[in-house]
Structure 1
Amino acid sequence: MTDSTLWRDDDPEVFRGTILAAAERLGVQPLAVDKDYWVREGLRAITTAHPGEPPSFEDILPQVRADAPLLQD
């Protein structure tokens, strides 16, 4: 478990507030910031499990594309 995972799990209200603050500052929906966080965590998990190998987006992109309509106003 990483420090960021512990922080997210230990204080979900602060994590949610951080997502909301970032979304407001960036002028995007909170769902977009949340999705970016999870994509980053997915890439971190891939690179941790397979050190020295470039990350593969083949497993992640189909889900991101499927969820993209949710991010539109």
Structure 2
Amino acid sequence: MRFLLWPFEAIFKLASGIIKTTGRLTAIILGIVFMIVGVAVSLTIVGAIIGIPLALFGFMLMVKGFF
């Protein structure tokens, strides 16, 4: 079971490292920027492969910044 959850743990550890390094406000701003760029990139069909995970990462970064 732990093997299936390691990608999520890795993403949250990465987000935590970014928050510790840059601070909460900067992490929230980076999260918003990643979300905007992810949505803009995913407007094309080919860009959706990169845009959707980028938008999700931005959302998770923003949530970690708030809490």
Same fold (TM over 0.5): no
Q: Which has the bigger relative contact order, CA under 8 A and spacing at least 6? A: 2
TM range (shorter): 0.3 to 0.5
**Would you tell me which structure has more helix in proportion to its own residues?**
2
TM, length-normalised to structure 2: 0.40
Q: Which structure's CA Rg is the greater one?
A: 1
